[in-house]
Amino acid sequence: MDILKITFPTLLTFLIGIGITPTFSKYFYQYKMWKRSSRAQADTSAAFGQVHNEKGELSTPRVGGIIIWVAVLFAVCVIYFLSIAVPSDLTLKLNFFSRSQTLVPLAAFFFAAFVGLADDLLHIYGLRSFKQDALIYRKIKILLVTLIGVVISSWFYFKIDYNAVHIPFYGDWVLGVWFIPFFIVVMLATFSTSVIDGMDGLAGGVLAIVFTAFAVIAFMNNQNDISAFSGAILGAILAFLWFNVPPARFYMGETGIMALTVSLAVIAFLTNTVLLLPIIALPLAATTASDIIQIVGFKLFKGHRVFKVAPLHHHFEALGWPREKVVMRYWIVSVISAIIGVILALVS
């Protein structure tokens, strides 16, 4: 029964995602929901021009993440109302909407999705400065994610008395009130991995593997509702990937990537594996690190770049790797790092 509780939402969100995508995709193209200006206007380096797919960026919808969170929303509602309308041992068991485990990650997931959708729409229909992703707007996004972190970390600290971080093979490290800023930093760091959404199937494949790992970890921790929620996200991402193999029909966009990264941070805290997150999600951590190294190196070495292009996946592309090779190798590394992370989570 516990296995069914995890696998059923996964299958359901996959089928819902497959079912709704043709309709959503039609409207994505009908209303031309893609960027109106290219990132090449912001990065004029020769290496960036070499790897940048400007034609795809200006003709491929960037709101594909809607498929993911709408599929999850439908699944949550269907299973929840089924448990109310037809109460039985089966329907009550399948329901994974619970105050103790999934209320907060679900709230974070959908709130971040709507913030991300607003971001996408501003890039599509907004002012010229927003379309070019001006620095001031990036600061606004960081502020919004910080506010989400403040609200959620305050709930952790004041409502459920959660103020410690588990250190593998050591024990709990009590942070007290410093748990709140630590939580915010982790959420910002996780959100910064959104730059991985740059190649067809890259972000979706990596995140599908990461959420699979957390579904396993939560299940082994007897956090079955969190495991089912992670499985539901997995199924929705797989539906997204079904239509996003090269050439991509649409990009995930901020509405998808923000929802996934913010909820990922929350799940990591709820499963007591936040310090293992950089291992479980190694490609995400490497992506963020490459951006930081590039920025710091550019300033320290007076304009010289550490990588040909940042983030890291574009560096490999600039070295001559085909996009498909980069994506597949990221998936392979993701599987290996996720397995290592799950093992460490279970034995520590």
Where in the chain are the domains? Answer: 2-275
Q: Which of 309, 342, 333, 322 is nearest to 42 (CA)?
A: 309
pLDDT of residue 199: 85
pLDDT of residue 340: 97
**Do 186 and 274 contact (CB within 8 A), yes or no?**
yes
End-to-end CA distance of the chain: 27
The tokens describing 189, both together, are 């760091």
Q: Indicate the DSSP class of residue 211.
A: H
pLDDT digits (tens, 9 = 90+) for 195-252: 888 788 899 999 999 999 999 999 999 999 999 999 999 999 999 999 988 788 899 9
The tokens describing 88, both together, are 């039985």
Alpha-carbon distance of 295 to 300, in angstroms, equals 9
Low-confidence residues in the chain, pLDDT < 70:
36-57, 127-135, 137
The alpha carbon of 344 is separated from its chain's Cα centroid by a whole number of angstroms, namely 22
Paired residues of 174 in beta bridges: 164
Alpha-carbon distance of 216 to 262, in angstroms, equals 19
pLDDT of residue 299: 82
pLDDT digits (tens, 9 = 90+) for 243-278: 988 788 899 999 999 999 999 999 999 999 999 999
In degrees and rounded to multiples of 5, residue 323 shows phi and psi of -60, -40
Measure Cα distances from 110 to 113, 189, 197, 233 in Å.
5, 19, 19, 12
State percent of the chain over pLDDT 70.
90
Alpha-carbon distance of 33 to 57, in angstroms, equals 11
Kindly give, in sequence order, each residue whose CB lies less than 8 Å from that of residue 53, ignoring residues fewer than 6 positions away: none
